[in-house]
Amino acid sequence: MPPVPTPRTRPAAKGLAALAAAALLAAGPAPTAAAAAPAGTAVAATTAAPELTADDVDAWLDDVVPESLGEAGIPGAAVSVVADGELLTARGYGDARTGADGGRAVPVDPEETLFRPGSVSKLFTATAVMRLVEEGEADLDADVREYLDFDLPTRFDEPVTLRHLLSHTAGFEDRFAGMMLPEGREPDLRAYLSTDPPEQVYEPGTVPSYSNYGNALAGYVVENVSGTAFEDYVAEEVLEPLGMDSSTFAQPLPGALEERMAGGYADASAPAEPFETIADVPAGGMTTSATDMARFMLAQLDALEPGRNVLEPRTLELMQAPALDEASLGTLAEGPRMSLGFFEEDRNGRRVLGHGGDTAVFHSHLTLYPDDGVGLFIALNGGDALTSMEVRDAVRSGFADRYLPAEDAQEASVEPTAAEHAQMAAGTYETSQVPHSTFMNAMSPLGAQTRITAREDGTVLLTPSPDTMTPVAYEEVAPWVWQEVDGQRRIAMRVEDGRVRAIGYNSAFTLLPVAAHRDSALTLPVLAASAAVLLAAAVSWPVGAVLRRRSGRPSRARAGRPARVATRVGTVGALVALGGWTAAFLQVMAFAPMAQDTLKAVLAAQLIGVAGIVPAAVVVVDDVRHRAGWRRYLGSALVLLALAGTAFFAAAHSMLSFDLTY
C-alpha cells in the first residue's frame, strides 16, 4: 500500500514524516527510487560489468544480503532474479520463523516461504485493470463512476478515470482509518470504499499524490465490471494462468498456504506479529513467494512462451509507458513519472520500472529493466520502512551498478538559469500526501515539510529530501529539471504566475508550497512555547495556592475569580487536547483504530482550550486595571498568548474540524 514505517523505535516526528512520504501501510509505503539521469546529465561510465550469471549473482547476493540483514536487525529475506527469459536464481536468507515464540526456527526458502509484498500488490491490480481494458470491458479514460455502484463525491469538473487511479493522480486525500482490520475480521472492499470516502483535494491529472484509496478503487472497478470478487478475478485471470500457485489475495490465508507464511517481526528478538489483514485489498493485500514473483516479472518482460501471458505485448507496452504527459502535468512530466502502475526508477541511463511495498512488518521491492530483460525482487520479514529501505536499496542499487552499469560517460550541463530558478524555488514545501481536511494535517509540521535553500553556486539544497530523509543537493540540468549532485535522483518543478507551485519527485509524490502560517519554522516553536507555558501555569497554580496558605498571604480578589477559573479550565483543556492528539497520532502510526468517541473528547478539550482565550484576556485586563504588579501582568499575558498559540496551531492544521474521520 502506501509505504509505511512502523515508528515503534523512532521518534514521532520521523515516524510521521515517513508516514507522509511513504503513505501508510498495507498499501505499502511509498516506493523509493534513484531516478533517471536525463540527457546531458553526468552518469559515470564504469569498467566492464561481470557477466550476469547465476553463479556470480549468487556469490554477490551471499556477500551483500546477510550482512545487510544483520546490520538492520531483520530476520530473513528472499530474492529472485530473472534474465534472458528465465529464472536466473532465487535465494533465501535468514529465518522465516525465528523461534522466538517457542517454536523451532525455520529458514527462508525462496520457493516455499510466503511474504506480504505490501504495495507491490498494486501491480496486480493494474494488470487486472489492463486485462479488462484489453478485452474492451473498461476504458482507461472514461469517467470511473460509470463502473461503480455507489456515489463517488468529487469537487472538480474533470472526471476521475482509471488512468488517474493507476497513476496516483485522481486527487484524493489518502485515508488512514481502518486500513488494518482486527484479527478474525474479513475485508469488505465495497464498504471500505463507499463509507465516508476521502476528500478530493487536487484536480485529476495535475498533482501526483500516492493514494491507496485510489488503487483500491481501481480494484473495485475490476470486481464490479467483471461481476467476480476482486480476489477471485485476480486468481483466475492473472495468478493461475501465470502459474503463481503460491500467491493469493485471500485473507485469511487458505490452510495450504497458511503454514508456509513467514512470521513478520517488528523486533527480531520478539515473537512474530499476527497476520495483517488489509482492508483495501487491491492496494496491499497480496501474499506471495519470491519464485512466484519471478513468474510475474517474466510476464511483464514479455518473456513467456506465446499464449502464456495474460496481457498482449501492446497492452504491456501501454501499461509500462508514462501514463500522463505535459498536457496535464506541465513540466512535472520532465521528471520521474508513473506508468499505469509502475514507478519510473531509471538508473545508470537505463529505463527502470518498479514498485516498493510495506506493511507494518513486511517490506519488498520489485524492479524491472524492460530494455535489458532483467528483473529483481526482494522481500523482507522485519524492520520498519526506513531501516528496511536501506537493505532494499543496497541490493537494488548494488545489483544495478554491478551488472547494469552506465554504458557511456555523459557530461553534466548546468543550465544558465540555475541561480535565478534556485531563488524562485527557495521556500518551505510539504508532500502532497499530507491530508488537508483532517487532524492528520498535523503530519506536515511534525516531519513532512522540506525546506529548499538556494545556494550561491546555483544549486538547491532540500532539507530533508523527502525520499531519503537526509539533505540532498540538486543542480539544474534542463529548464526546471534538477539532478542530484553526484547522484541519480531527479526532480522537476512546475511554475505558474512566476512561482514554483509543485515539485515532482519519485513519480507518485509531489512537494507543494506551504502557506506561511503553516510553516513548521513558525508553528512548531509557537506550539512548543505555548505547551511549556501552559504546563508551567497548570503546575504553578496549585503550588502557589499551597504556598499562600502556608505563608498566610491573602488570596486574590474575588471579583476576577470566575475569569481566572475559566482560564484554568481552558488551560487544562488545551493540555488534554495536546496529549490526546499526540496519542491519536501514535495510534495511527501503529495502525491501531482510534475510537470516534475518544476523538470527540479530544476535540471537545481543544475547543475548551480555544474558549479559554476569552477569560484569559479578561484576566489580563483585570490585572492591569487593579495594578496587580508586573509578575501577574507577565504571568496572565503569557497564559493568554499560550492559549492563543495552541489555538493557532490547531486552526492551522484542521484540528478544530468537527469531521473526525482520518
Q: What is the mean pLDDT of residues 166-189?
A: 90
Q: Give pTM, 2 decimals.
A: 0.91
CB distance 571 to 534 below 8 Å: yes
Statement: residue 45 has pLDDT above 60: no
Q: Any idea which of 15-24, 36-45, 403-412 has the lowest mean pLDDT?
A: 15-24
* DSSP code for 288: B
Average per-residue pLDDT in the chain?
89
Q: What is the pLDDT of residue 542?
A: 79
Give the span between the Cα atoms of 39 and 478, in whole angstroms.
9
What grid cell was written down for 567?
482560564
Q: Please state, as a whole number, how many other Cβ atoms lie within 10 Å of the Cβ of residue 559.
A: 10
On whether the CB atoms of residues 459 and 485 are closer than 8 A, the answer is yes
Rounded to whole angstroms, the Cα distance separating 124 from 130 reads 10
Q: Does residue 187 carry a pLDDT above 80?
A: yes
Looking at residue 114, its pLDDT comes to: 98
Q: 322: Cβ–Cβ under 8 A, 6 or more apart, which residues?
A: 333, 337, 338, 339, 344
- Cβ atoms of 475 and 414 within 8 Å: the answer is yes
Q: Which amino acid is at 625?
A: R
pLDDT given for residue 409 in this prediction? 64
Q: Report d(CA 73, CA 472) in Å as an integer.
A: 27
pLDDT at 86 > cutoff 70: yes
Evaluate if residue 17 carries a pLDDT over 90: no
Antiparallel, parallel or unpaired: β 460-463 and 180-181: unpaired
Q: Which residues make beta-bridge pairs with 347?
A: 350
Are the C-beta atoms of 180 and 360 separated by less than 8 Å? yes
At 37 the pLDDT is 40
**pLDDT for res 25:** 39
Query: What is the residue whose three cell numbers read 479559554?
Result: 612
pLDDT bracket for residue 662 (50, 70, 90): confident
pLDDT (0 to 100) of residue 34: 38
For residue 14, what pLDDT band results from cuts at 50, 70 and 90? very low
**Mean pLDDT (whole number) for 352-373:** 97
pLDDT of 378: 98
Cβ 78 vs Cβ 91: under 8 Å: yes
Q: Compare 585 and 409 and report the one with higher pLDDT.
A: 585
**Average of pLDDT values for 358-364?**
95
The CA distance from 484 to 347, in Å, is 12
- Mean pLDDT over residues 257-265, rounded? 96
pLDDT per residue as tens digits for the range 433-453: 999 888 889 889 988 899 999
pLDDT over 80 at 19, yes or no: no
Can you spell out the DSSP letters for 66-86?
Answer: HHHHHHHT--EEEEEEEETTE
The reported pLDDT for the residue numbered 4 is 34
Confidence at 5, pLDDT banded by 50, 70, 90: very low
Residue 176: its pLDDT value, please?
84
Q: What is the CA radius of gyration of the chain?
A: 27
Across 40-49, 442-451, 610-619, least confident range: 40-49
Contact status, residue 118 vs residue 26, Cβ threshold 8 Å:
yes
pLDDT at 182: 83
CA distances (Å), 574 to each of 43, 247, 503, 604, 619, in order? 54, 50, 36, 10, 17
Mean pLDDT of 387-401: 95
Can you read off the three cell numbers belonging to residue 514? 506551504
> pLDDT value at position 297?
98
* Angle in degrees, 0-180, between the axes of helices 596-611 and 561-589, rounded to the nearest 10: 150
Q: What is the pLDDT of residue 206?
A: 97
Please state which architecture CATH assigns to domain 1-76+93-411.
3-Layer(aba) Sandwich (3.40)
pLDDT at 597 over 70: yes
Q: What is the mean pLDDT of residues 116-138?
A: 98
Taking only the tens place, the pLDDT of each residue in 400-426 is 999 999 987 666 677 889 999 999 999
Would you state the pLDDT for residue 572?
95
- Residue 338 has a pLDDT of 98
| Beta-carbon-side half-sphere exposure of residue 449 (alpha carbons within 13 Å) | 21
Distance from first CA to last CA of the chain, Å, rounded? 16
Per-residue pLDDT, 547:
55
User: Per the omega criterion (within 30 degrees of 0), is the bond before 464 cis?
Assistant: yes
